[in-house]
Structure 1
Amino acid sequence: MLLYITLGTNDLARSKTFYDATLATIGLHFMGEFDGEIGYGPTGAAKPLVWINPPFDGKPATVGNGSMPAFTAATRAAVDAFHSAALAHGGTDEGAPGLRYDPNFYSCYVRDPDGNKLSAVCTAAE
């Protein structure tokens, strides 16, 4: 089980706009800014599960080749909303919502404004 994930950014304000809109579609909400990092988690969580921050070493944030967090979405409509929100807030398309791999793996792929690849996935039968 993961405790949290971090994604690097070179523009925290731009990332906040992107992640506020995109993560809200799957039930993760802004929990606050802490020491130059912003955190997101589900309603009622004690601590953020997703952190967005400039790299600690002070160097520019770069994309991890082959790295991609996949977020759980409760419904296929939430996957669609995640994809739409990402594109509307500075993200780019890496794979439109649709079925992949098996009859219940409905997913989309996007990149955030810094180039981090993200996915939202619904595995519920619909």
Structure 2
Amino acid sequence: MPPCPPLDLHFIGAFDGEIGYGPKGAENPLIWINQPFDGKPATVGNGSMPAFHATTRAAVDAFHAAALASGGRDEGAPGLRYSPNFYACYVRDPDGNKLSAVCTAAE
């Protein structure tokens, strides 16, 4: 499985129909990707949007660029929103899921 370098997430392992990613060397994943519990096809959730923590604004920028380079659509370019330290971007993956990367560190 490929890593997610902009957010420093690495493949941790596959477990019973799901895969997990987390920091390099971690034993427990921070994010899980799995098949729907009910066995039906996965669909885009209405009102659901995973937001990934980024340690720097540059990581948010890199996440956004990687998402677009991988076939995602822009839903909000990287920038400040809501407060002086809320730096985020929004994308839709090729399946239509909305994702965000957020950095709240002062830079």
State the TM-score bracket (shorter-chain normalisation): 0.7 to 0.9
> Which structure's residues are more often helix, by fraction?
1
TM-score (normalizing by structure 2) = 0.88
Matched residues in 2 for 1:54 and 1:90: separation?
22
Give secondary structure in 2 for the equivalent of 1:81. Answer: helix
Match of 2:92 among 70, 95, 111: 111
Matched residues in 2 for 1:36 and 1:102: separation?
39
Match of 2:48 among 54, 63, 67: 67
Give secondary structure in 2 for the equivalent of 1:25. Answer: helix
Give me the identity figure in percent. Answer: 79
Gaps of 5+ in 1: 1-15
* Structure having greater relative contact order (Cα 8 Å, sep ≥ 6): 1
Q: How far 1:112 sits from its partner (Å)?
A: 2.0
Q: Does 1:76 pair with 2:46? A: no
TM-score (normalizing by structure 1) = 0.76
Gaps of 5+ in 2: none
The alignment of Structure 1 onto Structure 2 pairs a total of residues equal to: 107
Matched residues in 2 for 1:53 and 1:92: separation?
22
Match of 2:32 among 51, 57, 60: 51
Q: How far 1:117 sits from its partner (Å)?
A: 1.3
Q: How far 1:121 sits from its partner (Å)?
A: 0.8
Match of 1:92 among 66, 69, 73: 73
CA RMSD between the two structures? 1.6
